[in-house]
Each structure stands twice: as structure tokens, then as C-alpha cells.
Structure 1
Amino acid sequence: MKFKPLAVGVATASLLLGSLVTAAPAAAAGYNGVCGKGFRVVNSADIGGKGTVFLTYNGSSGKNCVVTVLANKGKVRADAAVKKASGGPWAKDSGQFAQYAGPVHLAAAGSCVDWGGMIGSTWVVRTGTNCG
């Protein structure tokens, strides 16, 4: 049986493109529980595919906690930071980390918070969120 070159080329291109489209995405970094007992995730943000920054809250203590979890293990510069949106200094943990930066705790019951994280040179900051 003879195949026409154009038909073979189209079939080959379809197979190649199909394999690119179905490639598995990188695994997202999950919350690791380091903020402590009673803290639950109330917000999160992807950091350019390098990891995830999590904002957690403990209703009993009225404290927020931020942790930046790396998607790929290996020492890299990372930060986790949180502050009251109404002002005040950032509470933060920054340095070279292999798994995560943080946890960083802040008493902020009844307040909106600014929070964020960095991995490498990629920052994510959320302002005025999770009021209450």
C-alpha cells in the first residue's frame, strides 16, 4: 500500500502535537501544615510555577500565618511575609531554603492583611485581603 507524503506528514505532525498537548503539568506545591494546629488555608497564590504561598488563619487565636512552599526541592532564595493592610512592618522569613520559607505568624483578627511570597526572583503579593 502506498502512502502519500502529505498524508504521512500530517499524521506525524498530529502525533507530535498531541503528545505536547497531553504532557502532564508540573505538580503544584501543597500546604505542609507548618503553621501549626488549628490553622486552615484561607488563600493561596502560585509563584510562577516555582511553588505556592499559602495564607492560613486560626480562628481560636485570631492569627494569620504565611508559608511559601517550593515545588522543587533544592536550596533557593525564598521569602514569606505578612502585615496588617492598615500599616505596620512586614513580618517575614527570608533566606536560602530547601523546602519552604516561614511560617510567619501575625495577630490580625478584625483586620485585612497584605501577604506574599518569593521564590528565586519571582514575587507574588496580595494586598487588602481576607478581612475579618
Structure 2
Amino acid sequence: MTVSRVLVRAAMVTALGAVFAAPALPASAASPESVCGSGYRIIDRMTDSPWGTYYLLYNGSNGHNCVVAMKDRGAGSSTFTEARIQVAGSSTIHRDSGQYKSYAGPVRVYANNKCVQWGGRFSDYTGQTFQTLSGWEHCS
């Protein structure tokens, strides 16, 4: 776990202490691979417990990364969900966000031999939002 993940998670744990979330519903039948499409495979994941999991996938045939934010808690009800990725050297943050029932994404970007920062945000049923971002990683 990188230092940036630890700092973001520490802030989330503090915020989570005051929140009581609705019970989790069954997750969507979608998988990160089916959301990103043919040729993508999972290369990393970050759990934003208990809200959901961010997946980073890579397609070796076209050099693209893909990020999906899959909800755990609150799946089946519309809450703010975001998947995001940024390529080192670019100021553009590519994202998909909105009121989703099961996942946000796919967010695809060409990042062959470039570091990426990826993750996103989940909100609970009260509207409180929790963010997790990686450090700059997966540079090759």
C-alpha cells in the first residue's frame, strides 16, 4: 500500500466512524472484464471497504488501461459512484461519475509505458462521499 493510499484511507476510517450504512444488496452480475471489454485483464484492485472495489485493467494489444468502480454496499440503489484515471504528464482526469446502481465506468485511456493514478469515489445513502486514489504506479 502506497503512502497516498494510507493517508486517504486514514481519513476515510475517521469519516466512517460516524456513518451507518444501509445493508448491502446483491452485487451486479457484471464483472470488471465484461464492463471494460474484450482483451482487458485485471492488473490491480483497491477495496474501499465497505463501499466497493476499484479495478484497474490493462489491454496489452492496444496499450489501454481501464478503470471500473464496482459497488458492494448499496448495490441496487442509485448513489454517487465514480471511476477515474489520470496518465502521468497529463492534466486531464478521465472519469465516469453519476448516480449508479452497481458500477461506474468503464474509463479507458492509452497509457502504454506511462504511470497512472486511478481510483474513484463512492457515496453512502446519506450522500457522504469517500475517495480512494492510488499513487503514481503501473508505469510499464
TM-score range, shorter chain: 0.7 to 0.9
Q: Percent identity?
A: 35
Is the contact between residue 63 and residue 106 of structure 1 (CA under 8 Å) also seen in structure 2?
Answer: yes
> Which 4+ runs in 1 deviate beyond 3 A?
29-32
Residue number in structure 1 paired with 2:62: 61
Residue number in structure 1 paired with 2:139: 131
The SS at the match of 2:136 is strand
Q: How many residues align?
A: 107
Within 5 Å, give how 1:21-32 maps onto structure 2: 31-32=31-32
TM-score (norm 2): 0.71
Residue number in structure 1 paired with 2:36: 35
Coordinate RMSD, CA, aligned: 2.0
Residue number in structure 1 paired with 2:9: none
Residue number in structure 2 paired with 1:96: 99
Is the contact between residue 48 and residue 122 of structure 1 (CA under 8 Å) also seen in structure 2?
Answer: no
Deviation at 1:66, TM superposition (A): 0.3
TM-score (norm 1): 0.75
Deviation at 1:53, TM superposition (A): 0.5
Show structure 2 runs of 5+ residues with no match: 1-23, 124-128
Shift of the 77–125 alpha-carbon distance from structure 1 to 2, 3 Å rule, reads same
